[in-house]
Structure 1
Amino acid sequence: MDSINAQSYAKVLENGVQAIEEVKRLGSSGYSKSEIYVISHDEDREGRIVDAAKINEIGLQEEGLFGAIANLFRSRGEALRSKITSLGFSGAEAAFYEKELDSGKVLVIAKKPLF
């Protein structure tokens, strides 16, 4: 499923290789590396994909201080839903994507700045 709203784009992919290819495709279509994120339920896998694709992880700038601190105390699923909503998706969309991540898939999100 692809989802496009005013400022955010998301695509669920089967594996890290497809995720890296999607990052490249988004880069060639005008997104900068700092506007593209990869999310996986497995933190190590997510880190490997982020490193291979040379993109940023979702952090303080995207989540805000409160969200980043709260995620320290949340389950991985709750933290992922919070990160997805911090990038402009609704709670229902975040729940859908997190369920896809539960089955081992990878989520690539691209977000343009609001200015």
Structure 2
Amino acid sequence: MSMTDKKSYAKVVQNGVQAVETVNELRAAGYVGDHIYVLAHDQDRTERIADTSNANEIGIKEEGVFDAIANLFRSRGDELRAKIVSLGFTHTEAAFYEKELDLGKVLVIARYTA
């Protein structure tokens, strides 16, 4: 993994331990900690992994106020897809990642910022 790719990075991992390892690898590769996110299907699990790995959750800053409010009325699957799209991924990519989250996996995302 190298910053020379200069793009956002996403990786599906099996569990929280692998998510923490991936977050540490991303930091070592030069991604800024403020731009590393974790996402799991269960909100509590997302919070626990974010706290343990010192990563971020996708929030209003990334989604925008409109989408954050809309998420209050969306199903969890729709909410997860909207969060993933808010970080620059396509709807097709978001659908794929959301299906992986349905299976209990964890998504780690790092945004490249110039």
TM-score above 0.5, yes or no: yes
- TM-score after normalising by structure 1: 0.91
Regions of 4+ moved over 4 Å: none
Partner of 2:28: 28
- TM-score after normalising by structure 2: 0.92
1:48-97 alpha-carbon deviations (Å, 9 max, x no partner): 00000112211111101101110111011100000000000000000000
Partner of 2:17: 17
Displacement of 1:6 after TM fit? 6.1
8 Å CA contact retained: 1:7, 1:88: no
What SS does structure 2 have at the residue aligned with 1:10?
A: strand
**Identical residues among aligned pairs (%):** 62
Q: Matches of 2:65 and 2:22 in 1, distance apart?
A: 29
Q: Which runs of 5+ in 1 are unaligned?
A: none
Q: Which runs of 5+ in 2 are unaligned?
A: none
RMSD over aligned CA atoms reads 1.3
- How many residues are paired up? 110
What SS does structure 2 have at the residue aligned with 1:72?
A: helix
Q: Matches of 1:56 and 1:105 in 2, distance apart?
A: 17
